């Protein structure tokens, strides 16, 4: 079962500029259904509850993405994980598509 979504023309142009337009929307999936190999890929956003700073990342995990307790590697952002809210932006059938979408989300959120 797959969710359908409206294709954003800006998103398509972004992928074309990066020469990543071949499989742009082919692997978007429902967050409820696991892949056959049990690996789920998703793009997430962390928001610091006090400062409202945000971090956008990509992650692959086994099982339900909504039960995944991963809050980033914290290599560059030293926020206390208990002060963060995690939001799953979208799930994917492949890591490649998740990474493409992560790049797009970051691009759209640049100041």
pLDDT in tens, 21-51: 444 344 444 444 445 567 999 999 999 999 9
Q: Going along the chain, which residue ranges are E strands?
A: 39-48, 54-62, 84-92
pLDDT tens per residue across span 91-104:
999 999 999 999 99
| CA–CA gap between residue 101 and residue 83 (Å, rounded) | 26
Res 109: pLDDT:
80
Q: How far apart are CA 30 and CA 11, in angstroms?
A: 20
Confidence (pLDDT) at 29: 43
Between 40 and 9, the higher pLDDT residue: 40
Q: Which one is predicted more confidently, 104 or 2?
A: 104
């Amino acid at each position: 079962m797959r969710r359908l979504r409206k294709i954003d023309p800006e998103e398509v142009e972004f992928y074309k500029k990066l020469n990543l337009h071949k499989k742009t929307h082919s692997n978007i999936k429902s967050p409820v259904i696991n892949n056959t190999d049990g690996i789920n890929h998703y793009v997430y956003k962390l928001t610091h509850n006090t400062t409202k700073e945000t971090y956008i990342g990509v992650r692959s995990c086994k099982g339900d993405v909504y039960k995944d307790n991963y809050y980033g590697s914290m290599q560059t952002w030293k926020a206390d994980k208990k002060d963060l809210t995690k939001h799953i932006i979208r799930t994917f059938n492949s890591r490649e598509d998740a990474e493409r979408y992560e790049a797009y989300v970051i691009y759209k959120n640049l100041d």
